[in-house]
Structure formats: C-alpha cells, structure tokens
Amino acid sequence: MKPKLKFLLDYQCSCLWAADENTRKHFGDNITDLKALGLSPDTIKICDELVWLYSSRLNPIHPLLPSLWSGAMHRYFRNLLIKTYKRMMDELGADYELINEEIEEMLETTSEEEWDNQLRQFLDVPEKFCREAGIHFSTVRELRQEVKLAYENWKKKEDEILRR
C-alpha cells in the first residue's frame, strides 16, 4: 500500500500533508521537506509560489473582508493550482497516493467579471462589508483610505505576477 499524502492549502503551510500514520511519523503532519519526497526543484518552486499566493488572498485589513484579488488573479491562481497538482501527480504518483483536497477550488466556475464586480463593490463601500462581518472601524473615511492604500499596494504586486 502506497503512503498517502493530501494536497491541501492552508495559510502559512506547505501544500502537502501526511494522510496516514506512517507518513506522519516519517514527515510530520505538514510536510515542509518537499525535496525528501522526491519533488524536483522546479516543482518545489511552483509549490512555494502557490503557498505564497494562497496566503496573499487574505485581505490584509481583516481576514473576514473580501480578497483584493482581481478576476485575472483568481484565474491565474486556479491555473497554478491545477498545474502544481498535475506536476505532483507526475512526480509522486508512482510512489504515493495523492489525495486532492483542493478539487472544489480547481473546479471553481466564478467568472473573472464576477470576481471583478465583487472587488469593485468592496472597494466602493468597504464599510458595508465591515458592518456585515461585525468588524469595527474608526471612521468611514479612515477605513476607505486604509482600503485604498492596501489595494494600491496589492495591485502593484498583482500586476507584477500577471506580467510574468
């Protein structure tokens, strides 16, 4: 019986997890030594980018607020997620059973336009989203300024990523 791994994203963690007791004893719960599994340096680099991107999806002002990602960024992330999983299957599939816990994310059907509309709504009236989530803020003006600054900072990073 092959050792079992889970392909699962969680904030500030590797994307591979032990899925059985023997694998857990050998690598720990969250597997950070991807080289020891036999992954190539290129695949490890892609995994690192995927994990960083996943963490960047959190709104930097408050994690309950909508992401600052554009529709194009959501598409880029989904494509990278699929690419990473396929690479892992190619490189690990002969020696490990890889359980895909990200299948829903891979099959996400929200269009870029829908994501962009959701982002625009948040940027236009962030106070509405804060109230709905029970998040307190000083003033509407300060909140809007904070959102504007956070979005401008993210947009620069996103533009760099999407230009690659």
pLDDT in tens, 59-85: 999 999 999 999 999 999 999 999 999
Number of domains in the chain: 1
Q: Round to whole Å and give the CA distance between 86 and 54.
A: 18
Q: Count other C-beta atoms under 10 Å from residue 89's C-beta.
A: 14
pLDDT in tens, 12-33: 999 999 999 999 999 999 999 9
**Structure tokens, 32:** 């950070």
Q: What residue numbers bound the domain in which 70 lies?
A: 4-163
Contact by Cβ (8 Å): 69, 57: yes
pTM reported for the whole predicted model: 0.93
